[in-house]
Structure 1
């Protein structure tokens, strides 16, 4: 049986390991570090063009996969909303309370609100844990994708990739 992004739409471990935009676990900064899961060579460069700190480079060939310089990445999340492939998240570890903060692209409605509890899911959409919504930056004329920031237990740092809000518990009742 085949696996990987071309066959199932879900990257396998080898593809993720070889992605030049995914930093090593010890490179995650407290303020956040981008994780770029751009696994295919396609003509695309909004992440590079919009990175205010110059941390993302594509190179001369526009179909190169993005490379992340973790020394330059400030975890601002601009790249998250600019990536048309929804392939970028920002991960920050809060060592003081053993939680992870994840900023992720979100293009569904309705949007959750700060304080909501949502289902954090893996790359295949399977439930991993409950997560608390910390912030939502809705899309606007200058931002093509909404960005949702969630917090969840640190042990799930590399498992959680998105949220499922179909069964969320709103802080509004």
Structure 2
């Protein structure tokens, strides 16, 4: 059952440093989205991509993954749509820049183990820079990757955070739509 949306206060945000959010995951999903790590707002409310201005939830709808724009507080509906969410690094920080290279690399190794256990069709990492550091693939580009994790296709997309000014919403919709088309209609 979805919870009513609420906003954390300053103390709740401060208390969220280092906290984690449970993965939304099951075996054999169509797609497992993998963020970099939770922000403080998301950790405070215990829902992924929850900060106002994050474009993840509108992108899911505009690219075809969900029938309407879901609230982060409706994330319990995702599994029934074949969608899951996890993170490279579990601990919450104010910004992803607070994460070290080794922490990202360790997170990628843990992601590989998680993916091999749960076997999603596609793993979509949201953050090309973080993926390059975490995987060691310094030349990775946006889109489908030549390598896989186990039997799961690997895809890299820009971080949907509202502070990622490198990509406008229109561009992100095109990129997420490509992923949707691949995930729902693989060749």
TM-score by length of 2: 0.32
Q: Which structure: greater helix fraction?
A: 2
